[in-house]
Structure 1
Amino acid sequence: MCGEPDAVSMGSGYTVGIDLGTTRSAVAYVAGGDPEVITTGNSGESVIPSVVQFTEDGEVNVGQTAANLAVQHPERTVTEVKREMGREEPLTVAGEEYLPEQISSLILEHIIDEAEGSIGRDVEGAVITVPAYFDDPKRTATETAGEIAGLDVERLLPEPSAACLAYGLHESKLGNAASELAFVYDLGGGTFDATLVEIDYEINSVETLHTAGDNELGGSDWTQQIVDWMIDQIHDDTGVDIEDNPEQLARIRQEAKSAKHRLSDLPSTDVSVPFVVPEQSYTFAEPLSRERFEELTADLAAATTEPLDDLFGRADYTPADVDKVLLVGGSVRMPHIQELVGDYFDQEASMEINPEEAVALGAAIQAEIIDDGGADASAMLPGETDDIVLIDVVPQSLGVRLSDGSIDHIIEQDEQIPTSTRKESYGTVEEGQTSVQIRVYQGEGETAEENTKIGTAVLRDIPPRPPGEPSLAVEFRITTDGRLAVTGEDLKTGKQVETKIESALRHSPEEIDDLGEELPALREP
């Protein structure tokens, strides 16, 4: 249960920590010196389904209510929108088009409503967590979602860093806090992070050394394997391609997800969907053993080791050097994942903190420390310093596209942030040119097509000069939140050139307001 409202120091507004997940989200705050995950009023659960359902009367359901209605109204329901973050194409739902960040903002708005009802205070700010492997477009879209929801996004905090903060507090209470090399294996509903972290509890320092991951791999893929198994069985039994029926497919997916959860505790389970082919009075009913489930998903489990191999291939450490392995994310409850991680590191991985709550708890610790009326780090963490030292790294290299289509990597993967790099080798291409477009990409590929385009940095109002003359400097800066800024200078005149990354994902305050006004209102619980 959450603490009583009077356990929270009063002020103009409160800052909370939010784990904005692919399939489920959580929100936490600090009460009486301890972070607590807020339970929802309707279900009493500590996690909120990241589901949005648009009603026929122009309102929106979010969370458990939306999840419950998804089977009846799949065409009006959006799930797993986190996987769409950073994409410029809108989603079409209920006949209307919405950007992914707009859908995500509705989830955040619902989360804040739940938090305010529990805390008994207005929530004005938030620390929102993001996968460590999120690129700049995805981080930008996440921040925009928070702004559309009316939040002051105090920080975007990498999920592994948040988990380490929660773990540090836990160890402090047990009197076990010690400096150590930790590895965070974070398998969520839709994303996977692998992060090597050096923790020094004496100075409340969490230093990320290397990170890797897959933004398209998570627990929902395990669910999909059961869905595919069921679809094949139904087709074999009836000749019907059930994928053509959205409502029945939603029922199948709901049962597949439930079966996956049951198999974390049971060696076998009965999978059943009554009258899934009603015209044949056909009920799907088949047993599914944990062993068979693990066979169906063996390739997915193996895929999580690829980022691990990549990370240790870059690191000065080996898996044997790791002192502690932290399991984070609801999907790590699957026994074969725990076994895989244990075998890889030759040690039992830690689940001392609820893996579904660890990230939100860590975000709440960070939120409390940066809140104007919050506690110092020394009051919450093992060290005696009043602040947290969080050192993160660039998850994916940043560079610019050259005229031949290749990428000039400027800031390399795993560089500590904040960081900046200056290049003085750029020039114009045509006679009389007074502006230069620098197309910015993120990723490890050697060509533009292999990477993600972030946007275009435009250097404007420069004096004409001979084509090809290297006379322009461009500086790339990455902030503590992992967000990119670009400035430039004309080396011929010494004039500072104002630059701006132009992208459909970067919105002005006026555009943020407009995006919010386009959304229907949340339905009252």
Structure 2
Amino acid sequence: MSEKKRYMIGIDLGTTNSALAYVDTLDPDKNIQVLKVPQLIAPGEIEALDSLPSFLYLPDDNSVNSGKFDFNGQDDNSYCVGSYARKVASEQSSRVISSAKSWLCSAGQDPTSDFLPAIDDAEKKLSPLEAMTRYLRHLKNAWNTQVATSPDEYIDQQEVVLTVPASFNALARELTVMAAEACGIFPNLLEEPQAAFYSWIKENESNWREKVSADSSVLVVDIGGGTTDFSLIGVDDKDGNMELQRLAVGNHLLLGGDNMDFTLAYAMQQKLGKRLNSRQFSSLVHQCRQAKERILGSESLDKIDVTILGTGSSLIGGSLKTELTKEEVDQFIIQAFLPECDLNDTAQRQERSGLRSFGLNFESDAAISRHLAEFIKNNEKMPKTVLFNGGVTKASQLRERVSSIINSWSGEEIDVLADSNPDLAVAKGAAWYAFVRQGNSIRIKAGSALSYYVGLESSMPAMPGFAPPVDAICVIPQGTEDGTTFNIPIDDLALLVGEDSQFRFFCTNSRSEDELGSIIEDADLELDELPSLHKNLSLEEDEAPRLIPITMKAIFTEIGTVQVWGEAKSGEQKWRLEFDLGEEGKQV
């Protein structure tokens, strides 16, 4: 492999749509190009589109054997991803996987186990990790067959940047990297709001400095299919030079277009006056998504018919019909998800039932405006400028609503930065970042958006009915630059090796004051807990289990993941203490 790579590639692996953009370093203008991705739009019919819908269809064996889903460049023809998978989602919901990305950050469910589609009678199922891997593999094959002219230009030989939500925790980032590595791709990670801002910088390359105020901040509002991300990017004038720094990111909000689609589906079910079964309701959700996008994207469309097939022998005769109107979209989407609120309002976190049906852990408060108020209030910095990103914000009504709410808080009109295509901005921005990180242009200073902690159990005598308190050691302070290695400054640490044990991990975005080695008491109450790791750390053969004194090292890697290591004070043994999703360390 040549040391100098020709192509700088950015991949947006989205909840609803994925895309790939690139910069050819041999292009004198360094323009960002978007890869047209070949995909099935109907059995046997292929078309190259700007994006790849993040939907995966698992046809029955007869359909597979018929050759309808044979695809040049795809080794496994037992499935298809993209446009056709999205098209049949409303009719064959038990065979279509969607929103796989949202499961990577879902507590209490192993994202490496096969449970999607999350419908009981689904004949075939895959893990969220495998679904994401297959989207990436499709993009890889598209690049290798459409752009690369020799093995030296294959995607695994290029500089690749893969985007993630700013609020993704260490586990979700690790899983994203694992999906890429399963395809032979070894990427760097970039937060999606930053990618969107890089895209805007490139589009306004000649005058972007004139469009943002020095000593102010830019709010990036990223509302996608599965998540909502808020980021603040600071703009500083340092002796006449403009500097950018990511100041803050919001909580991981499982709140976006998917929630809107479910809301409309429940409203339509009420109109039908009948409780639908899981397959019918899943079909209704997909139809509501399509209808919502059409109504929000048109000034003249007032209503769209919705039809749900019946069950049993008379599918057509027993079908149910209703319509989604423009007024209902305004009521259940604009007014419900973006209600007017005060800057001091907070998100309403309701106590939930302990017994719930299986599904994603969506936010209990769907009011995006209240989450935004909380984010701005917590960071005590009213932005002067806003950049919208994500497919949901393509609708002008939603952008205008958010701007109006922010204006009511600040008392002055916020500047809106225009982007030509929110669907492609993240991929394009990632490609530009891959180029500028070689030292070619201005970079946003970032570092870790969260602080990370490892659980520490106190040495105490057994007490009937009382578990030992769980403290936690800060191993990655918030703001840590990627590529940083820390030696944790604590002497009296020991690892239990040779028998099954549990390691607990925590994170937060609200304790920027915590320093390396700080010990947080009652961590399970103060911090957000990540999935724990259950593992038997190996010893030499025939040695009895015991506590081994260690020093601890933490690494915030160049690609944006977290590693924690324990190294024996005497001897050369060392153990990786964090997310190991191989056979020896499955998450539970």
Q: Within 5 Å, which residues of 2 pair with 1:126-525?
A: 126-151=160-185, 153-174=186-207, 176=209, 181-199=217-235, 206-234=244-272, 236=273, 240-244=274-278, 246=279, 248-266=280-298, 269-274=302-307, 276-277=309-310, 278-280=316-318, 282-289=320-327, 290-293=329-332, 294-298=334-338, 303-315=367-379, 317-319=380-382, 322-334=383-395, 335-344=397-406, 346=410, 347-369=414-436, 377-378=439-440, 381=441, 383=442, 388=443, 390-395=445-450, 397-403=452-458, 404-411=468-475, 414-418=478-482, 419=484, 420=486, 422-424=488-490, 426-428=492-494, 439-444=503-508, 446-447=523-524, 451-453=529-531, 455=533, 471-491=549-569, 493=570, 495=571, 497-501=573-577, 503=579, 505-506=581-582
Do the aligned partners of 2:218 and 2:387 also contact (CA within 8 Å) in 1?
yes
The Cα offsets for residues 358-404 of structure 1, whole Å up to 9 and x where unpaired, read as 1101111133456xxxxx543xx4x5xxxx46423233543315352
Distance change in 2, residues 1:296/1:307 (3 Å): closer
Distance 1:280-1:10 versus aligned 2 partners, 3 A rule: same
- Decide whether aligned partners of structure 1 residues 309 and 477 sit closer, same or farther in structure 2, where only a CA change above 3 A counts: farther
Using the size of structure 2 for normalisation, the TM-score is: 0.70
Three-state SS of the structure 1 residue aligned to 2:478 is coil
Give the Cα–Cα distance (whole angstroms) in 1 for the partners of residues 381 and 276 of structure 2: 47
- Structure 2 counterpart of 1:48: 52
Structure 1 residues 328, 413: CA separation in 2 closer, same or farther (over 3 Å shift)? farther
Contact kept? 1:324, 1:349, Cα under 8 Å: yes
Aligned with residue 85 of structure 2, among 63, 66, 81: 66
CA–CA distance in structure 1, aligned partners of residues 102 and 192 of structure 2 = 16
Residues in 2 aligned to 1:11 and 1:480: alpha-carbon distance in whole angstroms? 19
Deviations 1:404-438 (Å, cap 9, x if unpaired)?
A: 253414146633333536142544598xx778957
In the TM superposition, residue 266 of structure 1 has moved relative to its aligned partner by: 4.3
Give the 3 Å change call, closer, same or farther, for CA 313–417 of structure 1 in structure 2.
farther
Measure the CA separation in 1 of the matches of 2:129 and 2:242.
33
Q: Structure 1 regions of 5+ residues with no counterpart?
A: 1-8, 371-375, 512-525
Q: SS at the partner of 1:357?
A: helix
Alpha-carbon contact 2:16-2:53 (below 8 Å) kept? yes
- Could you tell me how far apart the structure 1 residues matched to 2:146 and 2:103 are? 30
Between 47-56 and 37-46, report the one with greater CA deviation.
Answer: 37-46
Where in structure 2 are there 5+ consecutive unaligned residues?
Answer: 39-45, 65-77, 106-110, 311-315, 340-362, 459-467, 509-521
Letter aligned with residue 480 of structure 2: Q
TM-aligned CA distance change 1:169 to 1:490, over 3 Å: same
Q: Distance in 2 between matches of 1:186 and 1:262?
A: 20
Q: In the TM superposition, what is the alpha-carbon distance from 1:506 to its structure 2 partner?
A: 4.8
SS at match of 1:392: coil
- Check whether the contact 1:18–1:129 (CA below 8 A) recurs between aligned residues: yes
**Percent identity of paired positions between Structure 1 and Structure 2:** 19
| C-alpha separation in 2, matches of 1:506 and 1:205 | 41
CA–CA distance in structure 2, aligned partners of residues 358 and 450 of structure 1: 31
**Structure 1 residue 38 corresponds to structure 2 residue 31:** no
Q: TM-score, normalised by structure 1?
A: 0.78
2: CA distance, partners of 1:173 / 1:454: 48
Counting matched residue pairs gives 473
CA distance in structure 1 between the partners assigned to 2:392 and 2:222 by the alignment: 8
User: CA 1:302/1:349 → structure 2, altered by over 3 Å: closer, same or farther?
Assistant: farther
What SS does the corresponding residue of 2:565 show, helix, strand or coil? strand
Read off the aligned partner of 2:227 and give its amino acid letter. Answer: T
3-state SS of paired residue (1:160)? helix
What's 1:85 paired with?
A: 104
How far, CA to CA, are the matches of 1:405 and 1:26 in structure 2?
46
CA contact (8 A) 1:49 1:64 kept: yes
Post-superposition Cα deviations, 1:152-199, rounded to whole Å, max 9, x if no partner, equal: x22011112212221222222346456553221111110111111235
Residue 486 (structure 1) shift = 1.6
